Amino acid sequence: MADIGKAFSATWKKAAMIAVAWGVIASILGYIPIINAVSLLITVPMAFIVPIAVGYLVNQGKVEMGNAAITGGVAGFVYGVFAGIIGIVFAIINIVLGVGAAGALGSAQGAGSAAAGGIVGIILAVVIGLPVGIVLSIVLAAIGGIIYAATKK
């Protein structure tokens, strides 16, 4: 079987770069009015496709299916952590912008409720969303590794 430490050191940079790039693109698309609704048609399927691609792309050469799955899973873990962090950073930015907009309109109650709702959302994202996203990324990237090994035989 694959050495997880080796798999991590060989894959983490590529997985992290893909997570950051895709996270920034998807988050920025979410801030553009009208485009954000249309972009859901792209970003939702890509949330499943990108981790599979990560698992595929981090494998190199001819590898056994089990090793490719482990390498993909390790890369999926890294991808999930970095994608989650990017999502949380942009959620915080969204809260700040929402509170600022409510405050600029002279609504102290609106600013307060936006801040409170945003904080609850961030807590839920960290407690529920981040672990679920990481597990899903591990599974999908492992599938990507299996696909890689199957296509390289």
Which amino acid, 52? I
* pTM score of the predicted model: 0.82
List, for residues 65-75, the tens digit of each pLDDT value. Answer: 999 999 999 99
101: nearest Cα among 33, 16, 44: 33
List, for residues 122-153, the tens digit of each pLDDT value. Answer: 888 788 989 999 999 999 999 999 999 999 87
95 alpha carbon, distance to own chain's centre: 19
* pLDDT at residue 1 in the model: 55
Distance CA 43, CA 153 (A): 32
Mean pLDDT in the chain?
Answer: 84
List, for residues 85-111, the tens digit of each pLDDT value. Answer: 998 898 888 777 765 454 455 555 555
Distance CA 77, CA 83 (A): 10
